[in-house]
Structures are given as structure tokens and as C-alpha cells.
Amino acid sequence: MSQFQPFRLLLIALLAAFASVLVSLLSGSVELSFDDLIAYTVGDIPALQRQVLEDIRLPRTLAAFVTGAALALAGVLMQVLLRNPLADPYILGLSGGAAVGALASIMLGLGGWWLSGTAFVGALVSVGVVFGIASRSGRWSTTHLLLTGVVVSAGWGALINLMLSTSASASVQGMLFWLMGDLSQSRVGLMQIGILITGSALALRAARSLNVLVRGDLVAASLGVHVNGLRLSLFFGASLLTVIAVTTAGSVGFVGLVVPHMLRLTGARDHRLLIPFSLLAGGTFLVVADTLARTLLAPQQLPVGVITALIGVPSFIAILRSAPSR
Amino acid sequence: MTPLLTADNLLLCAGPRTLCSGLSLRVEQGQRWGLLGKNGAGKTSLLHTLAGLRTPREGTVLLDGTPLAALSPAQIAEVVGLLLQESVDALPSTVLETALLGRHPHTKNRLFDNAEDLAIAHEALRKLGIESLAQRAVNSLSGGERQRLALAMLLAQRPRLLLLDEPSNHLDLGFQTPLIHLLLSQARGNPEETIISSDSVSQGAAVIMATHDINLAARVCDNIVLMIGDGETLVGKAVDVLTEENLAKAYDCPIARVENEGRTLFYPL
């Protein structure tokens, strides 16, 4: 790869991100034109348009971008931690724990902050359980960690099914939307943005070490990487990023698994490139998916998780087929 | 002068088994050590201990006179390079990217590669005869090509102590001799090397290689550690340690020795 190409790719990703945000801001039931956006920046915009932009579209677009970026980065980190291309942010059972928390809130008829609060607690419980089991046995091997995560996920899955099957039918639709991922009520604040930026900066700082860690713990240790410390940071960093994503939008599937892989297949295997690339592409992907989710069958809103899979599957297959099988 | 590596009174165990006990070594720059013993005798465990990846049950390992325990992994990696028997490529990168990983201990810039590191990586690939594969994905390589790549990564690291676990694995017979000369040139201190590396490592690196090939060790090593089992080890000059009796004891089978064209060959009876 020449020295120039990475920067060109990043520039393209940056432009795509910008375009997706623009399209998202301009799409919806209330007509908003590009001129309105320009007018908004100089503070000269009709009250209705201002309200739609400030209260609805901007926060929702921002939430979509932050969630998508956090999931894609968490996916990259989990794949390195577990050294497994099939790993995604939810593989260690975190989304299951969050789901049980969120569903409990919905069951009890609690909404708003309760929903993200209980999801947060559920996710933390799940992280704690997996970490407790994995570190207590003293074996941080990838297989052991993966098995622990899969088993814990299965446990949460049983609880989720129990809650779904015993809930009143009126609340089941809300539960399903949460499980599939939905951005209609989503807002992010300074905390989520701060975590994402800090996490990205730390991940980028460690990018070279991640390149080495992918080759195996022993290789990494013999090349001077502090393997245990790095793997612990990966575990908690990826978990925290996933927590901010699921507490914002529920368990949106597919972004964390597919975005990193699409980028790897197009040549961004080096984590110094893959990390910024994933952030931009993950954010863009979810903004586009959410725009479609709220406009395709308007005024009916679709869960964004359905759209991510519907666009994600065919495009992934296309890239898989066109990737050179060197 | 402080030896490059000192092992003092090492006790290594694997579960209930004692791999070696009371093992002491003094490895000087430019020396070539062979590590011999049956499968499971503890060759790899000893190499990993000398590389600081494993803590001995008893005893200490000193690098340039400093205990390994007092050094960070990064400090050790600037001096010690380890060739492992296996590699992982679940998320494969290209051959060149992999060779560049060898520069990791020396690279200060966290984001950008410098021209010198790239030149060193290319040079290492060239020396191993795989420069034409530079852009290939690692998972498309054959076993022998992977072994050459692992060696290229090690050369790119430019360690002063090379710990090699079965370096001739997967390699054609025809490439084994050039490879050995390449590794020995590291040990002798190659003038070509000193032009590029600015530090004053002109005395040459030391090599410790674990191998199951007695004849390879007999041909290239000046010192031998023979792991006999039950914790017993023989350490000394190759000519003193590599005798029919010692080898028969270590490998549990009668071994004969012949001299041919100035070379010593051992073969099982």
C-alpha cells in the first residue's frame, strides 16, 4: 500500500460521513432544505424548522452516529481480544444483560431514564460475571473467555425469552423494538461522546500493539507488548463502548461484526487505519440505516436493527465475493 | 565483561515433572548454543524462560547483568528476539506488514512508519528470499514460506540475542544451509548490519537454538545444552557434550557417530 492511499481512503470516509449526516438532517416528514440548514447556522430560520432540527433530527442523527461508531470500534477491539473474526461487541453476553435490564423496566411500565439505567446495570452485571468467571479460573485464554461469554449469553437469552413470553402483549412490541435496536427515543450526551472520543484516542495509541497482539499472545509478549494489561484494557474498553451503544439504542445488530470486516476485506488490516476507519464507517452506516428506518414506511418507524441487517447482508456478500482471494 | 545472558541455578517444572534443575549458563556475544533433548524434554520451556515469557520455579536469568524480572517486556524485546514454533493468523495481514511488526520494540512513533523501518523490513524479506511475496496475505503462504516470514520478522527486530525454536522447521534441505549461514552472520556481526544500525552492536549477536536435529546442532553450534530428562542437563562445549553415550542417554536409543569429509554425523542404530 502506498503512503498516499490511507489518507485518501480516510478522506473518502470522512466525506461519506458528512454526506450521511446531511441526508439524515434533510429527510423526514417536515420539509427541510439545504438553504434552511445554511439559514440555521446564521440563526435565521423559521420556528417550526428550528424546532424540528434542534429537538428531533440533530439529536437523533448524533445518537445514531455515536452508537454506530462505538459499536464498530467495540467490534474491532473484541475481534482482537478474542482473535476471532466472528466476534462482535455482544459476544461476551453484554447485550443480553442489558436487554434483561431494559425489558424489566418495560415490564414494570417504566420508561425514559429508567430504561437506559436498568440496561446499564444489566450490562455491568454481565461484564462482571464474565470477568469474574474468566479471571477466577486464571485462564484468560481466548477460547476460555469466548466459551464463558457464549454460556453467559445463553443464560441471558433464556431470561429474555421468559420475560417476552410472560409479558402483557401491549408491552411486547416495545420489548422487540429494544431487542432489535431502535433510535427513535435516543439521545446522547457529553458522557457518551466523551467516552467514545477517549476510547478512540486510547485505541489509536495502542494500535501498533494491537497489530502485534493479533499474531498471538506469545508473539506479542516477545515483541515487548504488556499482554495481560492490554487484553484487560481491551475487555473493559470494548465493554464500555458497547454499554454506551446499547443504553442509547438497544442491541443494534450487525454493525459491530460487519463494519470492521468490510474494512478488513478492502485492505485496512492495520489497526492504525482500521480504528479511525471503523469509527467513521460505523457512524455513517448507522446514520444511513436510521434515515431509511424512519423514512421507508413513513409515518411507520422501523427498528434500525432490521435495516442494518437488510443492507448489511447483501453488501457484505458483495464485498466477500469481490475481495481478491490472494 | 558482563555476559549477554546468564542463567543461574534454574529450576523449571511442568506440572509434576522437573524439566531442568540447577541449570546455569553464561552466553557471550557471538556464541552459538544448541539446545537438544527429546520431545517434551523442556527445550521450548527453557527458551521461553530465557526470553522472560515464563518465570522459573527457582533461579534467575540476567540480561546484560540485570535480572529479567527488573526489566519491562519492551526493554527485553529491544535485546532478545524469539522465533516461535507456531503463529496465529486469524485476522491475516500482508507479508510486509508482518515483517514490519519485528520493528515494534524499536519504533517510537505510534502512528507512522519511518523509512528506515520499512527498509529494514524489506531487507529482512530479501535475505529470506521472500521479497516477491511482500503484498501477499499471510494465510495464503505455505508452511515453509511462513517459517521464512517468521525468521524475517526476527531479523527485522535486530536482536542481540536470538532464541530460535526449531528454526529449520518446514524448510527445504537446500535452504537450511543458507539459513544457517544467515543466522551465523548475525552472530559474527555482519559489517553490512553496522552500516544501517547506528548503535555500537558490532560484536555480533548470540544465538540459542532448540532443535531436534542433532546434526544441525553439531554442525553449527559451539556450545550445547543437552536436556536428558528428570531435570538432568549437560552443558558445555559441543565436542565434549555430543558423545555417543550422552546422546544415547538423552534420546533413549543407541546412537552412532561417523566422521565424513570433516563433518561429524550422528545416526540412530
Task: Return the domain boundaries, chain A.
Answer: 5-322
Optimal mutation site among A223, A226, A228, A271, interface B, most CBs of chain B within 10 A: A223
Residues spanned by the domain of B164: 5-268
ipTM associated with this complex: 0.88
pLDDT in tens, B39-81: 989 999 999 999 999 999 999 999 999 999 999 999 999 999 9
Answer whether B119 touches A (CB < 8 Å).
no
Pairs of residues, one from chain A and one from chain B, whose beta carbons lie less than 8 Å apart: 88
pLDDT in tens, B71-97: 999 999 999 999 998 877 778 889 999
- Rounded distance between C-alpha atoms, residue B169 and residue B175, angstroms: 11
**How many CB atoms sit inside 10 A of residue A28's CB?**
17
Task: Look at residue B199 and tell me whether its pLDDT is greater than 50.
Answer: no
Of A320, A272, A313, A288, nearest to A9 by C-alpha is A272
Q: Do A222 and B82 touch (CB under 8 A)?
A: yes
Answer whether A205 touches B (CB < 8 Å).
yes
- For residue B97, the domain's CATH number is 3.40.50.300
Mean pLDDT by 10 residues, chain A (326 residues): 66 93 87 80 80 87 95 94 87 90 88 83 90 76 86 93 88 86 84 94 94 92 93 92 90 89 85 94 95 87 88 81 60
Answer whether B94 touches A (CB < 8 Å).
yes
Of B177, B150, B143, B20, nearest to B95 by C-alpha is B150
What contacts B11, CB < 8 A, 6 or more positions away?
Answer: B18, B20, B21, B22, B23, B56, B57, B58, B59, B231
Of B60, B33, B38, B37, nearest to B236 by C-alpha is B33
Percent residues over pLDDT 90 in chain A: 43
Evaluated on CA atoms A91, A94, A97, A99, the torsion sign reads negative
Q: Do A208 and B74 touch (CB under 8 A)?
A: no
- Cell representation of residue B257: 557417530
Collapse the DSSP code of B210 into the 3-class scheme (helix H, G, I; strand E, B; otherwise coil) and give the result. strand
Please tell me the predicted confidence (pLDDT) of residue A139: 62
B51 contacts in A (CB within 8 Å)?
Answer: 222
- Rounded distance between C-alpha atoms, residue B223 and residue B205, angstroms: 15
β-strands B255-260, B263-268 pairing: antiparallel
What b-and-e string marks burial along B198-210, b requiring 16 or more CB atoms within 10 Å of the CB?
eeebeebbbbbbb
B76 contacts in A (CB within 8 Å)?
Answer: 224
Q: Do B73 and A226 touch (CB under 8 A)?
A: yes
Superfamily of domain A5-322, CATH level 4: ABC transporter involved in vitamin B12 uptake, BtuC (1.10.3470.10)
How many alpha carbons fall within 13 Å on the CB side of residue B72? 9
β-strands B5-14, B223-229 pairing: unpaired
Domain count along chain B: 1
Q: Do B88 and A225 touch (CB under 8 A)?
A: no
- Rounded distance between C-alpha atoms, residue B269 and residue B266, angstroms: 10
Q: What is the mean pLDDT of residues B28-34?
A: 91
Please tell me the predicted confidence (pLDDT) of residue A155: 94
Task: Look at residue B143 and tell me whether its pLDDT is greater than 50.
Answer: yes
